[in-house]
Structure 1
């Protein structure tokens, strides 16, 4: 996944594989929680970058 930051915008990490894993409670496509997904549009750029950092951490686990 390549993310481009332009004009202080942070693109969604959504991969259009929207399935919540019952064990981990994470989306199998983007590795976000349901709260992170539903709150995305209301988050500030800094908050979005924090979510992306968590996603990268989860990806490495």
Structure 2
């Protein structure tokens, strides 16, 4: 079985305004629990990242 890859880009800095990492846009809880999440749970986190990531046009 293939494991869902981490969205980590090795730029770990939590934005105090929204609680998301400025590199991967996960919360501290999502980052801390990543290795324990099932593949479907990891895919759910991935699906949230698009909405959290600021768009270049903003």
| TM-score normalised to structure 2 length | 0.86
Please give the alpha-carbon distance, in whole angstroms, between the structure 2 residues aligned to 1:59 and 1:20.
13
- The answer to whether 1:20 aligns with 2:5 is no
- For residues 7-59 of structure 1, the C-alpha deviation after alignment (integer angstroms, 9 at most, x for no partner) is 33100000000000010110000000000000000000000000000012212
Instruction: Give the one of 4, 16, 28 matched to 1:10.
Output: 4
User: RMSD value over aligned CA atoms?
Assistant: 1.3
- The answer to whether 1:33 aligns with 2:27 is yes
The size of the alignment, in residue pairs, is 55
Select the structure with the greater relative contact order (CA < 8 A; seq sep ≥ 6). 2
